[in-house]
Amino acid sequence: MQRQVALIKQSLFDQGYLDEQFMELEELQDDANPNFVEEVSALYFKDSARLINNIDQALERGSFDFNRLDSYMHQFKGSSTSIGASKVKAECTKFREYCRAGNAEGCLRTFHQLKKEHSTLRKKLEHYFQLARQAGPKETARRPK
């Protein structure tokens, strides 16, 4: 079970869903805060869902206020970076570039992709945490080899 958990985590890293920052977060986890990473993840997804909503609405309006979109995305990127969500972060960067270029279509496309990445990551992490909890607390704190 624990090995399974470790493997899953490893694959997340290997596939580029997560980066070293996630490991940093795991380092912060200890006996006093055994579920820290999971808590942070939950917080991240909650907050980013809100951001995604805002961006969705802004895009739907069709007015394409690039400044505003860029600022939303800056926030999004900040959170994603902090949690180590590298694919999401990459999409954020792309989105911002399109914003700066004033490329509405590019923004839309990228945002669509971003949402996909975001929800994929969320599912994977949820699965991972679930398993980790089942496997035992120690597992989550272990770094992938």
For residue 118 the two structure tokens come to 């975001």
Torsion of CA 52, 57, 63, 64, to 10 degrees: 0
Does 79 help bind other proteins (rule: CB under 8 A)?
yes
Alpha-carbon radius of gyration of the chain: 16
Among 1, 7, 28, 49, binds other proteins (CB under 8 A): 28
Judged by beta carbon, residue 80 or residue 110, the one nearer other proteins is 80
- Sketch the per residue contact string, 58 through 77, with other proteins: x for CB under 8 A, - otherwise: -------------x--xx-x
Judged by beta carbon, residue 4 or residue 71, the one nearer other proteins is 71
Binding residues with other proteins: total (CB under 8 A) = 23
The maximal CA–CA distance of the chain, rounded, in angstroms, is 50
- Sketch the per residue contact string, 34 through 53, with other proteins: x for CB under 8 A, - otherwise: --x--xx--xx--xx-----
Residue located via tokens 């900040």? 78
CA dist list (Å): 97 to 37, 74, 93? 30, 11, 6
Among 6, 58, 83, 99, binds other proteins (CB under 8 A): 83
Cβ-count burial of 12 within 10 angstroms (0-12 exposed, 13-18 middle, 19+ buried)?
buried
Which residues of this protein are in contact with other proteins, per CB under 8 A?
21, 24-25, 27-28, 33, 36, 39-40, 43-44, 47-48, 71, 74-75, 77-79, 81-84
